[in-house]
Structure 1
Amino acid sequence: MKYRNVVLIVLLILIVDQAVKFWVKTNMAITEQFTVIPDWFHIHFIENEGMAYGLKFGGEFGKIFLTLFRLAAVVVGFVFMRKLVREKYHKGLLICGSLILAGAAGNLIDSMFYGLIFSNSSPYEVAQLFPQGGGYGTFLHGKVVDMLYFPLYEGYLPKWVPIWGGEYFIFFRPVFNIADAAISVGVIAILLFQKRFLHAQIAQEKEQQAATEQAVTPNDESTQKAV
């Protein structure tokens, strides 16, 4: 797998992620929702100032720190992916790494620039792109746009369920975006197939070592004969 393929995967996910976010931001009021698949999949517009799936981190300072950390992680990620490609790591690992890198970059764009280019979203007003009075925030203070909502189960739990029996329960409750999904898929796939990725790399290194030894051995014998 070539490095340009890594870049193409990242760009493709970024384009889809940002296109969906732009559409939601400029066509929906905050907390507005419409159904894609009844009782299973909804587009539900919310924003968060923190990590994936609406988690928060450390207030105002935490927001800046998280954005700078994402920026550093994306820069290091591209450098690291180039190294993995150069060393011919397993294709599956490179794809998973590309997904994680694309997801980090997608949410980084929101955090860095959305406060500058969008007006504020509210339950009564849809945001505008490049408003006359400027955006709702400053550089590094943009909010991440989330919209994918999959309440696979919604209802009251049976009484016999420990602790939560009889309570109203929603599964899966978090609202997320395509960038979050790319990160999750990449991480989960690496955890599930890490042995396959690692074994393939070890086998490849052994083959390269054997080929190197075979290339060196004839030269040594011919040198000894010449002597």
Structure 2
Amino acid sequence: MSLKKAVLLIVIILLIDQISKIYIKTHLVLNERAFDYNWFQIVFVENEGMAWGTKVSDFISFISDRTAKLFLTIFRIIAVIGISYWLVTSIKKKGSKILIVAIALIFAGALGNIIDSVFYGVLFNDSYSQVATFLPDEGGYDTIFHGKVVDMLHFPMWKGFLPEWIPFIGGDYFTFFEPVFNVADMAISTGIGMLIVFNKRAFGEKKELAENENQSENI
């Protein structure tokens, strides 16, 4: 797979991700539902931390939430730089199509969420009891690097009380699948899933090429 095709895939995912986020942000109030069909819902929430709302400060108690948020955003930027290097290197080394597609998906998803974290705080005002405005005259809801990630996709496929015999959580009310996520999260999860499920195919061609080169050198 060529770099041009990989970039096209990344751009398409970024456009879908950002268009959906900007639409939700500028049309819904925080926690408002735009669509509710039993097992699938569109609900506007904002994520200040990592996956499922987890914050860095939950693990490192001696730093403030704002410092933890800044640390997380910088870490994401460094991670994306590393992923981009991995992508370009894999293309140059003629890695398998599955590998390149998976890395491109992970890169696009990570970059999509970074855009929220870095810029949304200055591009929009807050969504509490109001629909946010893009580039408001009074300024954004926070400073650069302190934006919140917009999530909207919810798949509560099953709701009910768990059987009493299940250890620790038996008898509790449970929802599967509870987290609310976005297109960028889907891209990241899909890319990681491809690397796990198709591990041999993803890295096999590269290994085979290396083995062939070694055999040629030994002849």
Q: Indicate whether the TM-score tops 0.5.
A: yes
Q: Say yes or no: does 1:155 pair with 2:155.
A: no
2:171 and 2:72 mapped to 1: Cα distance? 38
Aligned-residue offset at 1:208:
4.2
Q: Say yes or no: does 1:191 pair with 2:190.
A: no
Q: Say yes or no: does 1:170 pair with 2:175.
A: yes
1:88-146 CA deviation, whole Å, 9 max, x = no partner?
11110110000110111000000110011101011x21111111101011110111101
Aligned length, in residue pairs: 212
1:202 and 1:17 mapped to 2: Cα distance? 34
Q: TM-score, normalised by structure 1?
A: 0.87
Aligned-residue offset at 1:43:
0.5
Contact conserved, 2:3 with 2:88, CA < 8 A, in 1? yes
**Partner of residue 54, structure 2:** 55
Q: Which stretches in structure 1 are left out of the alignment for 5+ residues?
A: 215-227
User: Which has the larger Rg?
Assistant: 1
Contact conserved, 1:116 with 1:134, CA < 8 A, in 2? yes
Aligned-residue offset at 1:62:
1.2
1:99 and 1:68 mapped to 2: Cα distance? 20
**Partner of residue 218, structure 1:** none
- Counterparts of 1:14-25 in structure 2 under 5 Å? 14-25=14-25
Equivalent position SS for 1:128: coil
1:53 and 1:98 mapped to 2: Cα distance? 23
**Partner of residue 27, structure 2:** 27
Aligned-residue offset at 1:162:
3.5
Q: Say yes or no: does 1:93 pair with 2:86.
A: no
Aligned-residue offset at 1:210:
4.9
2:52 and 2:13 mapped to 1: Cα distance? 18
Aligned-residue offset at 1:209:
4.6
Q: Say yes or no: does 1:107 pair with 2:107.
A: no
2:74 and 2:4 mapped to 1: Cα distance? 26
Contact conserved, 2:76 with 2:110, CA < 8 A, in 1? yes
The farther-off stretch of 142-151 and 154-163 is 154-163
The farther-off stretch of 141-150 and 165-174 is 165-174
**Partner of residue 225, structure 1:** none
Contact conserved, 1:53 with 1:180, CA < 8 A, in 2? no
Q: TM-score, normalised by structure 2?
A: 0.90
Aligned-residue offset at 1:61:
1.1
1:207 and 1:41 mapped to 2: Cα distance? 49
Q: Say yes or no: does 1:144 pair with 2:149.
A: yes
Q: Say yes or no: does 1:70 pair with 2:69.
A: no
Equivalent position SS for 2:198: helix
